[in-house]
Amino acid sequence: MSKEKTKVWIFTFEYAGIIKVGGLGEVPANQAKHLSDKFDITVFIPAHGQINMLKDKYHLEKLSIKCQGKKFSSDSERKELENNYKIAFYRTKIEKINLILIAGDNSHASNFLDDPAVYNPDTLGEKICLFSIGIHCYLDHLIKDQKNNLPNIVHLHDYHSVIPYIGIKQVLNKINVNVYSIITIHLLTWPRYDIEYYYDCKIDKSPIEVLLKEGNKYLTLKEIFMMAKDSESDRDIHRPPTAEQIGALVCDIVTTVSQAYLISDVIPNCGKDLISFKSDFVYDGCDWDYDEIYQQVILKHGDELRKVLKIPEDRISFSNLKNFLLTYKIANLEKSPLIRSKKVSEVISNLSDGDLFRKDGKIKAFENSGPLVITSGRLSSQKGFDIIFEAIPKVIKVIPEARFLCLITPTDYSLKEIKAYSQIVKKYPENLRIIFGVVEDIYYLAHLSADVYCALSRWEPFGINALEAMASKIPIIATHVGGFQETVIDVRNFWEIGTGILIEKDNPSQFADALISFFLLALISKRVKKVGTIYEPDTLKMVNQIPDETLKSLVLLNPDFYLTIKQNCHKRVENNFRWKKVSEKLANLYSKIIELNSNLGKES
């Protein structure tokens, strides 16, 4: 008789295949996929308005669970949110993973749980609250009718899941059922809610069992708040602790996505000695397969590319892909970039000038192709896109035909930046293009076409974008922060295995030098194939333009050094960051949670 699998519940606000804003959505989806043989996994997520889309893709069952009531907010600023709520539950299965989507079943609940803007600042607080109430109802249903389906472990992704977890921990403690927990902090955002908000979300005043260094102890929410506040350097008595502090304190294991971020940010800001003994890191991963992506791109774009560029049926070259992308496809997307926020859509619509920015978020193509650097990510000051723009003058002075393509996902928090960035595009019409919104149509194509990828974050817990770039054989320029220090290997220090260049944050001059160097390495590699030697005068002139002396020496020794870096990038991901490999550590942590609690004495 086979042993029953440990039941793991995952709480998340993003899940690839349902909805994602950035890299976070890939994490629970891929971890669940690779752990589903060992664990019985159920994912809980707000519906975010995706029910109709999912009905078309999967068998979606509406569960007969009653969850309705009236919220009575104790916060005078939230009085207008007092209303009857009615919550619905939808269940589906993707591969071996159970998914429960929590949706609104009346207008009040739907306004929040079904808002497709995942982190809309106008609805997020109530979305978290109703999500918490929904999970509470779901748990009550199981206790009554399916007690054998209660979880052994709950895995929380970011602070949005903290309050729902505290609620179910209270319920299970009351019936003497142990549940263990792990929180993954993907990015600290410092959300602070007063204690009354927790109570509004169906948290009560009963104690829960909390793992401390000296053992397990029962603490009320008020005591947890006080303990979290005492761990802060700034003990402002009027300011509540962050939800991340509360989550780190109440969970049995605290994780983040890189060792650097754990040491520099998570432990110092989420509890210090209160959590250091139970803290660890689990890398994110990437399963992009270069050959598979190439075949998908050719299947999707091949016929159109041949027609536009008027080329025969032969294998499509790297230059063909880049030319097609830059001079045609970015202006002829199959559909407008996906934007989930009405506010963002309105701002982008107002950018339309009939030239560089056209209707529905579409843009003008470049007149000609050229050396291409791409970047992607959520529009935020964190990501350092402004450093790219500041470097453009220095780069185009050396390489006038340089092309910059930014695939940026705007949010409700970045309306001013959208307007400002559009003006920068108009300043460099021959060199810069920005696409605002999710563009699945060309995302793979852009990665296969690029000569360089840049990730200039001011801080970055991990940076899945770096792995995606390296899996696509793109040399990368990244800042020497957070997870990039553990994924990107600087070619100047380790030329045999190097995958990119690490630079100081907020340094446009260093970025420009690195980019010019990589562009020239690529051009030299191509030219030497044509003329047969690196010592031809025009080629040597290019070598002498390389700003970095180390790279200048390396390319003289190996004119194909750029291609060596490309291959190193692919090997780096293949050998170290496939989801199957990085998820093994998470499986071990799930086992460690139970062991950690068993070995520590309990104090009532």
Mean pLDDT of the chain: 93
- Domain count of the fold of the chain: 3
pLDDT at 514: 98
Residue type for 173, please? N
pLDDT reading at 152 higher than 90? yes
Whether 533 is covered by a domain: the verdict is yes
pLDDT at 2: 60
Whether 455 is covered by a domain: the verdict is no
DSSP 215-268: EEEEE-HHHHHHHHHHT-SS--TTSPPBHHHHHHHHSSEEEES-HHHIIIIIHH
pLDDT at 3: 74
Q: Are residues 572 and 468 in the same domain?
A: yes
Q: Which of 395, 430, 450 is the last residue of a domain?
A: 450
- Confidence band of 4 (pLDDT split at 50, 70, 90): confident
Q: Which of 423, 450, 477 is the last residue of a domain?
A: 450
Whether 456 is covered by a domain: the verdict is no
Q: Are residues 313 and 426 in the same domain?
A: yes
Q: Are residues 274 and 317 in the same domain?
A: no
What pTM value is reported for the model?
0.92
Whether 106 is covered by a domain: the verdict is yes
CATH number for the domain harbouring residue 22: 3.40.50.2000
Q: Which residue has the higher pLDDT, 206 or 595?
A: 206
pLDDT at 596: 65
- 372 touches 388 (CB < 8 A): no
| Mean pLDDT of all residues in 51-72 | 91
**∠ CA 385-388-392 to the nearest 5 degrees?**
150
Q: Are residues 306 and 240 in the same domain?
A: no
Q: Which of 77-81, 471-475, 589-593 has the lowest mean pLDDT?
A: 77-81
- Name the CA dihedral angle for 124, 128, 133, 136, rounded to a multiple of 10 degrees: 160
Percent of the chain at pLDDT exceeding 70:
95
Query: Could you count the other beta carbons within 10 Å of the beta carbon of residue 272?
Result: 13
pLDDT at 355: 67
Letter string b/e over residues 51-70, b meaning 16 or more CB atoms within 10 A of that residue's CB: beebeeebebeeeebebeee
pLDDT at 345: 87
Q: Are residues 550 and 572 in the same domain?
A: yes
pLDDT at 228: 93
Q: Are residues 81 and 137 in the same domain?
A: yes
Percent of the chain at pLDDT exceeding 90:
83
Q: Which of 396, 421, 450 is the last residue of a domain?
A: 450
Whether 134 is covered by a domain: the verdict is yes
Closest CA to 4 of 106, 220, 149: 149
pLDDT at 537: 95
Q: Are residues 315 and 400 in the same domain?
A: yes
Whether 417 is covered by a domain: the verdict is yes
Q: Which of 102-116, 136-150, 281-295, 305-319 has the lowest mean pLDDT?
A: 305-319
- In terms of residue numbers, what domain contains 471? 461-577
Q: Are residues 233 and 103 in the same domain?
A: yes
Q: Which of 74-78, 317-321, 558-562, 596-600 has the lowest mean pLDDT?
A: 74-78
pLDDT reading at 72 higher than 70? no
pLDDT tens digit string along 561-588? Answer: 999 999 999 999 999 999 999 999 999 9
Q: Are residues 98 and 119 in the same domain?
A: yes
DSSP 409-466: E--TT-HHHHHHHHHHHHHSTTTEEEEESB-HHHHHHHHHH-SEEEE--SS-S--HHH
DSSP 128-146: HHHHHHHHHHHHHHHHHH-
| Mean pLDDT of all residues in 364-379 | 96
| Mean pLDDT of all residues in 591-602 | 66
Closest CA to 27 of 208, 284, 252: 284
- Confidence band of 603 (pLDDT split at 50, 70, 90): very low
Whether 291 is covered by a domain: the verdict is no
pLDDT tens digit string along 188-204? Answer: 999 999 999 999 999 99
3-state secondary structure of 502: strand
pLDDT at 76: 42
Give the N- to C-terminal CA distance of the chain in Å, as an integer.
Answer: 37
| Locus of tokens 């295995």 | 497
pLDDT at 598: 62
pLDDT tens digit string along 246-300? Answer: 999 999 999 999 999 999 999 999 999 999 999 999 999 999 999 999 999 999 9
pLDDT tens digit string along 399-458? Answer: 999 999 999 999 888 899 999 999 999 999 999 999 999 899 999 999 999 999 999 999
Whether 292 is covered by a domain: the verdict is no
- 516 touches 545 (CB < 8 A): yes
| Locus of tokens 């039941």 | 7
Q: Are residues 257 and 313 in the same domain?
A: no
| Mean pLDDT of all residues in 155-175 | 97
- Confidence band of 604 (pLDDT split at 50, 70, 90): very low
Q: Are residues 518 and 553 in the same domain?
A: yes
pLDDT at 145: 83
Q: Are residues 192 and 324 in the same domain?
A: no
**C-alpha to C-alpha distance for 514 and 520, rounded to whole angstroms:** 10
| Mean pLDDT of all residues in 468-493 | 98
CATH number for the domain harbouring residue 427: 3.40.50
pLDDT reading at 1 higher than 50? no
**∠ CA 42-44-48 to the nearest 5 degrees?**
145
pLDDT reading at 235 higher than 80? no
